[in-house]
Amino acid sequence: MGEIKITPPDDFFEPRAEGAVAPEWSTDPDPVFRMTVKRSIFEARVFLCRSAGDARDILSKVGTKYRGATHHCWAYVLASPSWSEAAERCSDAGEPSGTAGRPILSALKGRNPESRGPNHDQTASGEDSFPLLNAMVVVSRWFGGVKLGPRGLINAYGQAAASALANTPLVPAVRTRRFVLCYPYSAAGEVARILKHPSVVGKPVIIYDSGSQSPSGGQCPVTAEVNVRASQAAEFEGFVSSSSGSINSSGEVIVL
C-alpha cells in the first residue's frame, strides 16, 4: 500500500522511546505481544518511528533478528519533518492482499482509551481523543502448517497489533514550528511579551552574546529559540509583525 498523506492535529500521542511493555510471561528480551492461532505464532512489536528512514531501519533490524519468521507485516502512521502533513503506510509482506497490513494500520488508527490499557501518560483533560502518530507496528508470523484463510489472517494480525498497542506506554506530544528571535538587549521587554503569546509551547532557549548574524548582516546580541503550535504559526507571525518584528524569507528567523 502506498503512502497516504493526512493533515495531523497539533496534539497527539506517540510511543515512549523504550516501546511496548512485555507481558510478564514473555521470555523475549524485546517488548512483544505473542499469540498462537492454529499453530501459527504471531509476535507484535511497537516502535517509535519518526520517518520513513526509521521504518526501514526497524524492518531491517527485525528481519535480521527474527529471520526465521515467515512474514514481517507492518504499518506506520507518522508526521513529516515539516509537520505540514502526516503519512500512513502498510504492507502485507507476502500475505494475501489486505489480510495483514491493513488490519495492523486499522489498529494503529483505531487506538482508543479502552484498547490502550493503563500504560500511558496523561497531562491534560480531553486528550483521550488525541490520535497516535510516529508509531510503527511490526507483526511477525511463523507459519504453523495450517492455513487461516483471509478472515482468520485479518483477525489474527489485527488482534496482535491491538494487543501490543494496549501494552505500549504513550506520551503526549505537540506539533510545532520552530522560530528564532534575533534581537538587541534593548528589545528584551518586547521579546518577553512576544514569548507570552498563547501559541508558544514550552520554554524558549535564550542565548546571550550569541554572535549570530541577522539576515541584514547585523549582529544579534541575543537569540531566543521558540516552538509555536503549528496551527497557530501564522497568528504568531502576525503578532510579531505587529510588535515591530520582521520575518526573513525562510519564515524562521525574526529580527527585532
Residues 145-163 have pLDDT tens digits of 999 999 999 999 999 999 9
> What H or E segment, with its residue span, contains residue 47?
strand 40-48
For residues 210 and 219, give the distance between their C-alpha atoms in angstroms, rounded to a whole number. 9
Top-tier CATH class for 175-255: alpha beta
C-alpha cell at 12: 497527539
Look over the chain and give the mean of its residue pLDDT values, rounded to a whole number.
Answer: 79
| CA 192 vs CA 185, 189, 204: distances in Å | 11, 5, 10
The reported pLDDT for the residue numbered 27 is: 43
For residues 196 and 172, give the distance between their C-alpha atoms in angstroms, rounded to a whole number. 22
| Other CB atoms within 10 Å distance of the CB of residue 221 | 18
User: What percentage of the chain reaches a pLDDT higher than 70?
Assistant: 71
Backbone CA torsion sign across 106, 110, 116, 122: positive
Ranges of each domain in the chain: 4-173, 175-255
Q: Matching CATH topology for 4-173 and 175-255?
A: no
- Whether 29 shows a pLDDT value over 80: the answer reads no
The reported pLDDT for the residue numbered 22 is: 43
Decide: 223 and 206 in contact? Cβ < 8 Å.
yes
C-alpha cell at 151: 478472515
CATH number for the region 4-173 comes to 3.30.230.30
For residues 20 and 168, give the distance between their C-alpha atoms in angstroms, rounded to a whole number. 4
pTM for this structure?
A: 0.69
Identify the weakest region by mean pLDDT among 3-7, 97-101, 168-172: 3-7
Task: Place 4 in a pLDDT band, splitting at 50, 70 and 90.
Answer: low
- Whether 12 shows a pLDDT value over 50: the answer reads yes
C-alpha cell at 42: 504471531
* For range 205-224, the mean pLDDT: 72
The reported pLDDT for the residue numbered 190 is: 86
Q: Which residues share a beta bridge with 173?
A: 12
Residues 227-254 have pLDDT tens digits of 888 888 888 888 888 777 666 655 556 7
